[in-house]
Amino acid sequence: MNVVVSALYGGPPRELLALWEERRFTLCLSDAIADEYRAVLQRFARFRHSAIVFLVNLAVQGNVLLIPSPASVRAVPDDPDDDAFLACALAAGADWIVSGDNHLLRLASFEGIPILTPVEALRATRSRA
């Protein structure tokens, strides 16, 4: 979640979001994650236009994989809300998880799925080109 919110401010998260918009990678979401994106982004009045564009793109982009109800996991005792991202990535067979969240980054990987910072994910995405 923090990568999406950080993208409103620019920098590597925004660059990563631009690569997603260019269909360079697929975003994996569960219903719970999509609901969280909507709820959090609605609180950013200053960035209302950018938030609306992102939410519309979620609805129309072909490079979104929706995993409606992935099996739950318990891997982040200090922040159980982060487990939703791990569960979604696992169910989707994701190549990596992108986060700036320290709880997730401390794990380094989950069930063989690397957890990358936005900068690391940018490098990985660009190297696939």
Measured between alpha carbons, how far is 128 from 18 in angstroms, rounded to an integer? 15
Q: Do 95 and 63 meet the contact criterion of CB atoms below 8 Å apart?
A: no
Mean pLDDT of the region 1-21: 89
Residue carrying structure tokens 């990987």: 109
- Residue 1: per-residue pLDDT: 65
- In angstroms, the CA 99 to CA 10 distance is 15
C-alpha dist (Å) from residue 109 to 39, 49, 93, 98, 106: 27, 34, 13, 11, 8
DSSP state of 93: T
Looking at every residue in the chain, the average pLDDT score rounds to: 90
**Residue 20, domain CATH:** 3.40.50.1010
Structure tokens belonging to residue 77: 């005792």
pLDDT tens for each residue of 58-74: 777 778 999 999 999 99
Average pLDDT over residues 93-122: 96
The residue among 62 and 101 whose pLDDT is bigger is 101
Q: By residue range, what is the domain housing residue 57?
A: 2-127
Sign of CA dihedral 28, 97, 95, 53: positive
> Is the separation of the CB atoms in 83 and 74 below 8 Å?
yes
Place 129 in a pLDDT band, splitting at 50, 70 and 90: low
Give yes or no for residue 48 having a pLDDT over 90.
no
What pLDDT score was predicted for residue 114?
Answer: 98
pLDDT at residue 77 is higher than 70: yes
Higher model confidence: residue 63 or residue 103?
103
Biggest alpha carbon distance in the chain? 38
Number of domains in the chain: 1
Binned at pLDDT 50, 70 and 90, residue 37 comes out as confident
